[in-house]
Amino acid sequence: MAAGAFLGGMGGILWTVNSRTIGQRLVPDAMFGRYNAAARLFSWGAMPLGAGLVGVLAEWLGIRTAFAVFTLATLLTIVPFLRTVTPRALAAVDAAPALD
């Protein structure tokens, strides 16, 4: 269970830092406030849904099963992220012309 919690925490940290960095590079300054508000709406809005889902899953199948399911979900998210957001991809973002 500790490994699942650790992976979940790492996934959240990786996603937050990298998505904000990429957003700051790609989104024009005039649109950044709107972009940031929409991104936070979806990210923070998903938290109560995930909490409710894990609560129901833990109630029905037990806490170990709930942790196992969400550990698997985290792995299914982290692995493609790490394969997509590479130094080469970030360099391409830096090289892209500004959208201003």
Name the phi and psi angles at 42, rounded to 5.
-70, -40
Cα 72 from chain centroid (whole Å): 15
Compute the Cα dihedral for 34, 36, 41, 42 and give only its sign. Answer: positive
Compute the Cα dihedral for 68, 73, 57, 43 and give only its sign. Answer: positive
* pLDDT tens column, 73-99: 877 877 887 788 788 887 887 776 766
Tokens coding 25? 């590079």
**Residue 24 falls in which region: left (phi positive, over 0), alpha (psi -120 to 50) or beta:** alpha
pLDDT for position 99 = 61
What ranges make up the beta strands (E) of the chain? Answer: none
Measured from the Cβ of residue 4, the count of other Cβ atoms closer than 10 Å reads 19
* pLDDT tens column, 20-68: 888 887 888 899 899 999 988 988 888 899 889 989 999 999 999 988 8
Quote the mean pLDDT of the chain.
83
Q: Model pTM? A: 0.61
Q: For tokens 């973002």, what's the residue?
A: 93
